[in-house]
Amino acid sequence: MEPPPYTETESDPTQLLRAAEHGDEGVVKLLLEKNIDPNGVDTKYGRTPLFWAVEQGHEGVVKLLLKRGGVDPNTADTEYGQTPLERAALQGHQRIVKLLLGQEDINLNTPGPKSLVTPLGQAVWAGHERVVELLLQRKDINPNIPGRKQSIKPLHWAALRGHVGVVKLLLERSDIDPNTTEARYGVTPLSLAALKGHGSVVGLLLEREDIDPNAVDKVYGRTPLWWAADDGYERVAELLLKREDVNPNTVDTKYNLTPLGRAAQKGHTGVVKVLLDRVDTNPNTAETKYGRTPLISAVHGGYAGIVELLLKREDINPNTTDTESGRTPLLWAVQQGYKGVAALLLKREDINPNMEDAMHGGTPVWWAALFGYVGIVESLLESKDLNPDIRGPTGQTALEVAASWNHARVVKILSQFKHSVPLPASKPSGRYQGSHGLSWLGCGARPEKAPPSVRACSAFEIIWYIGLLAIILVLILFPPSRNWRCAE
């Protein structure tokens, strides 16, 4: 970016602008001796010679201009609305900042007309520790002035961007409140550091005796621990949980999700582990949108490692159901086809393998038979309490629904199991019942080949049964909650 071209008039301030921009001290000195206006601005960017010299880091030119007298050190440009001090602080020109701070009329605490933050805020945002240190040495500096639009104070910026050294400098001041909140979302510096995973900054803030580690923001009601769990920052979660006064069970105000529920929902195994290491963590708190506990969320996502960690807790309830569809963790595992997760659940002695889907009906073994999940059916049959003869939403047993869908291997396995309901006289198969495989619903077989209990159905009845099964399959294969998002 350059000022407009030279003009032919030697007294034109453009000459001084160009010389200042290029750091030509000799020309600057000569022009100043000719009483060229040192505060003239270019018409394109509204920048003074001082601003151009600061922008390019020409310390010698800055010295000449400030020594001249009559130079306004606070004139902001029209493009960014920044003052020379703000620009120097943002770019980290330490020696130039020191020169500007030597001016009695320098403006420390007010941003330029378009600028978002003060000179201190600019230096903090960019992480220039030495510049921050220089600015904080001024007795008239106010380190708590927020930006114009974001309402973020310097400590918030330092925490958000992970500038450990800058955070340390700010916390050494007695007029800094570590629990200060920004105006728009009401988040503290600790929450900002946690949600970005800046472990070192979190550690520094937690060293303060007056820090509130459970402060919640005003929009979602989420604690620093919740934000750490959201993005899987294990180290940050561990630092927070070392404090006895950190509450691991605080729920957010939007979905009633605990940090454990969020970590389980997003598959953050490491965070789940450190949360469960706290004996006061409640593993059974359900969120309110779908009524899912951490275990159901982990099963729904197929996170076997998290499921295994949760099941190690004696106080976990493996039979709780969600409010969305009334399914247990085992039903979710079966209907999603997660063989390994289902096997983990079945290792629990207190698991109930016969609980039915409250919305659609059907036990885990019925659904496994419907979808032909051989491995899951085998695992379920090893459960001592299993009853495979409970009829599902179509009125069929697991064996019957497997036969109607031609799952030969499942039929063979279930046929070898001791049933409470007598098996049909003939071996069920698609060929036995007709090509469409729906005759175990009580219709559709050819009369001459059908057993006495089976009658021929009308075309209307066949269409009705096909529609019923299609609706059930669509609801199971594409549940409304498949792509749900809980947090924003």
Question: How do the domains of the chain map onto residue ranges?
Answer: 380-488
The structure tokens listed for 105 are 């009329």
Positive or negative: CA dihedral 61, 67, 72, 73 = positive
What is the per-residue pLDDT across 436-474, written as a single tens digit (0 to 9) for each? 334 444 443 333 333 333 334 556 566 767 877 787 777
107: pLDDT strictly greater than 70: yes
What is the DSSP track for 338-395? -HHHHHHHHTSTT--TTPPPTTT---HHHHHHHHT-HHHHHHHHT-TT--TT---TTS
What's the gap between Cα 451 and its chain centre? Answer: 58
| Average pLDDT of the chain, as a whole number | 87
Mean pLDDT of 16-45: 92
Positive or negative: CA dihedral 428, 431, 437, 443 = negative
Mean pLDDT of 22-41: 91
Q: Tell me the H-state helices in 49-128.
A: 49-56, 59-68, 84-91, 94-101, 119-126
The residue among 118 and 475 whose pLDDT is bigger is 118
Ranked by mean pLDDT, the top range of 11-25, 27-41, 472-486 is: 27-41
Q: What is the number of H-type helices and E-type strands within the chain?
A: 26, 0
> Which of 51, 57, 105 shows the shortest CA–CA distance to 82?
51
What is the DSSP track for 138-182? STT--TTPPPSSS---HHHHHHHHT-HHHHHHHHTSTT--TT---
Q: What is the pLDDT of residue 428?
A: 40
Q: Please tell me the number of Cα atoms within 13 Å of 183 on its side-chain side.
A: 10
User: Measured between alpha carbons, how far is 364 from 345 in angstroms, rounded to an integer?
Assistant: 12
235: pLDDT strictly greater than 60: yes
Q: In which residue are the tokens 């880091």 written?
A: 57
User: Measured between alpha carbons, how far is 207 from 196 in angstroms, rounded to an integer?
Assistant: 19
- pTM of the prediction? 0.81
> Which of 194, 191, 136, 139 shows the shortest CA–CA distance to 166?
136
Q: In which residue are the tokens 């269409």 written?
A: 463
- High-pLDDT (> 90) share of the chain, %: 73
Mean pLDDT of 372-392: 94
- High-pLDDT (> 70) share of the chain, %: 86
What is the per-residue pLDDT across 43-53, written as a single tens digit (0 to 9) for each? 899 999 999 99
The residue among 116 and 286 whose pLDDT is bigger is 286
364: pLDDT strictly greater than 80: yes
